[in-house]
Chain A
């Protein structure tokens, strides 16, 4: 998959995207269809979440199912506070996911509604070398 610059190019930070389709990874019936779906749709950005490891999980790390040319957008959906969101963002960057982060602070565990005030808070406490934050 290649990124061709056009007049309609979308930029997140200094990274160009020709597709405006952002892909989530929460509802795939099988991880084996992630790569063919990305190829067919042209989507160049895909979200993933960071969680405690489940020792009983049988599937491999989801990153192994995502083509290398597709940009990873880790989210902070596991965060209950702004501080936890910053921690997750730092871990994701150190883990090799690049400088993108989708900020989410969720305190409503029944309906997963975001805490908007909490979601807007993290950028004020980002490290000086900031990540490209992308609240969606």
Chain B
């Protein structure tokens, strides 16, 4: 399945948001996730199913300001 992950076309084999985050090597404890510009709370990641063409943004807090 293809999704747009942080602006890049990406192929994934996972069905859930949580599984995709793990599949792509991100740390689930430190990222914030949006699917199609809707913020998804961490408790809902495993129940959030990804679909072909979804736009996923993974964000985290960094130094700045």
Contact = CB atoms under 8 A, between A and B. Distances in A.
Interface of A: 24-28, 31, 47-53, 55, 60-64, 73-75, 77, 87, 90-91, 94-95, 97, 102, 104
Chain A to chain B: the 8 pairs with minimum beta-carbon distance, closest first? A49-B64, A47-B65, A61-B30, A25-B63, A75-B65, A53-B58, A48-B61, A52-B6
A62 B6 CA distance: 20
Contact of A95 (B32, B62, B64): B32
Interface in B10-58: 24-27, 29-32, 34, 37, 39, 41, 57-58
Q: Is the contact region of chain B dominated by helix, strand, or loop, or is it mixed?
A: loop
Contacts of A94: 32, 39, 41
Interface residues of B, number: 23
A48 B39 contact: no
Contacts of B61: 48-50, 61-63, 74, 95, 97
Nearest to A76: B65
Contacts of A31: 63
Given A60-B30, A94-B41, A55 B65 contact: no
B65 A62 contact: no
A102 B60 contact: no
A48 B65 contact: yes
A65 to B, nearest CB: 9
8 contacts: A24-B65, A26-B65, A28-B63, A51-B62, A53-B59, A55-B26, A62-B62, A91-B39
Given A55-B24, A55-B26, A61-B30, A50 B65 contact: no
A53 B26 contact: yes
Contacts of B64: 24-26, 47-49, 51, 75, 77
Contact of A50 (B24, B30, B60): B60
Contacts of B58: 52-53
